[in-house]
Homo-oligomer: A and B are copies of this chain.
Amino acid sequence: MRKTLKELAALINGKVVGDENIIISGISGIKEAKPGDITFLANPRYMPLIETTEASAIITSTEIKSSHKTLVHTDNPSFAFAKLVSLIAPEELRPKGIHPSVVMGKDVKLGENVAIGAYTVIEDKVSIGDNTIIYPACFIGHHSSIGGDTLIYSHVSIRERITIGKRVIIHSGTVIGSDGFGFATVKDLHHKIPQIGTVEVGDDVEIGANVTIDRARFDKTIIGKGTKVDNLVQIAHNVVIGENSIIVAQVGISGSTTLGEGVILAGQVGIVGHVNIGDGAVVAAQSGVSKSVPAHTQVWGYPAKPFALAKRVNACVNRLPQLYKTIEQLKKKIEELEKRINSR
């Protein structure tokens, strides 16, 4: 790449503060950037790097100033940067066409321009939309349906009768539609409750690597439109996740729990079954949620509490060693007073 900063700024609707005629030849993170690179700053933690980075230009929000660095002001630096990267990133080499080794079931409906890599197995009556790419060594169970413009990496297992939307991305090793964990216990023996429901993954969802999403006992486990799920997440049977939520790595959501829209679950959160997490709720990392969380509130802790309370409680806990000393002093003081009173 060799473009003027002016040209790049135009692509992202940015305003250059400094010399707009400098030549940009690369794109990079703020720490690794070299002269000629454009970078961006969104995380305030890295603010000091703005003066030390070797980047030739920095995309930032409008309130950031710098005495000697060339900036590109935008409303949302992360988004502007993402846009820039997708514009100039090299085209990825992906599988093309249907590899001759693909095992294709009966009555499979393929859209136009579908690509399927080597040794992928497609069972009967699957339908796959236009432009969808499936990497090698995947398994798609019978009667499943995959929308168009979807991207499925290697070693993904999609069991039977699952519905995947359009523009979905599923990373390697993920399993969608495994049986829910349901047993009826009679005299200490656990009898399997058949899991005859399905999973529905909405449009524009991204699912990380080695995730597990169980099928419903009946009905559907649902991942709402636009929701993003990180690696190694467990989503149990009959869970319903609303639109545009964020589920960070290693979260576990137990059966029949529902999440609203725009919910954020940070890493390693665990949520009990049969509760509701309201729209826009935020659960801090590693929290253990044992009851419903109202919309637009934030919780933290084990067990999870409203964020402000959790913070106050946590501060109190940290001061406990001091508190025990204080109480010893009070005890002595009281004994002393008692003695003085007795001695009169």
Contact = CB atoms under 8 A, between A and B. Distances in A.
A119 B137 CA distance: 8
A190 B334 contact: no
Interface in A152-180: 153-155, 157, 159-160, 169, 171-175, 178-179
Contacts of A333: 334, 338
A327 interface: yes
A185 B79 CA distance: 7
A331 interface: yes
Interface in A177-210: 178-179, 181-186, 188-194, 196, 206, 208-210
Nearest to A333: B334
A178 B153 contact: yes
A73 interface: no
Nearest to A29: B218
Interface in A122-139: 123-124, 135-137, 139
Contacts of A321: 309, 312-313, 316
A2 interface: no
Interface stretch (A16-24, A63-71, A108-116, A265-273): A265-273
A124 B93 contact: yes
A244 B103 contact: no
B249 A234 contact: yes
A276 to B, nearest CB: 12
A260 interface: no
Contacts of A183: 82, 228, 246
**Size category, A interface:** 35 or more
A149 interface: no
A89 B195 CA distance: 9
A179 B173 contact: no
A291 to B, nearest CB: 11
A6 interface: no
A259 to B, nearest CB: 15
A254 B305 CA distance: 23
6 contacts: A42-B184, A85-B196, A175-B209, A178-B209, A272-B285, A309-B321
Interface of A: 27-29, 31-32, 42-43, 45, 76, 78-83, 85-86, 89-90, 92-93, 99, 101, 103, 117-119, 121, 123-124, 135-137, 139, 142, 153-155, 157, 159-160, 169, 171-175, 178-179, 181-186, 188-194, 196, 206, 208-212, 214, 216-219, 226, 228, 230-232, 234, 236, 238, 244, 246, 248-250, 252, 254, 261-262, 267-268, 270, 272, 274, 285-286, 288, 290, 302-303, 305, 309, 312-314, 316-321, 323-324, 326-327, 330-331, 333-334, 337-338, 340-341
